[in-house]
Amino acid sequence: MVKHEFGEDADMKRGSVRGSCEWYKNRDIVVGVMWLHEKADIGHLVHECFHMVHEFMQSLGFTLADSSEEAYAYLIQHMFKKTKGLLK
């Protein structure tokens, strides 16, 4: 679907990399895709959640600072809860 809609290939086979985040834009639609290798562990998931949240918050005009730290933490927590079931 991502390749069809956004002209990008989200099938990221990156050798020894255990995870990756990519953002695709098409007109007014932005889609974030998190990819985890089948051997990824909980640490990789948390790592990629941070990247997704950081990029999302930057798109809203936020930077990671003492004044925004709590917003980042809550969003990372939410994303982790929603994605932890994807680990094998």
Average pLDDT over residues 55-70: 94
Q: What is the mean pLDDT of the chain?
A: 83
Q: For residue 6, what pLDDT is reported?
A: 47
Question: What residue numbers bound the domain in which 23 lies?
Answer: 2-86
pTM of the predicted structure, to 2 decimals: 0.76
Q: Which residues of 36-60 are buried (b: 16+ CB within 10 A; e: fewer)?
A: bbeebeeebbeebbbebbbebbeee
Average pLDDT over residues 47-63: 93
Please provide residue 59's backbone torsions phi and psi, each rounded to the nearest 5 degrees: -65, -20
Looking at the structure of the chain, the number of domains it has is: 1
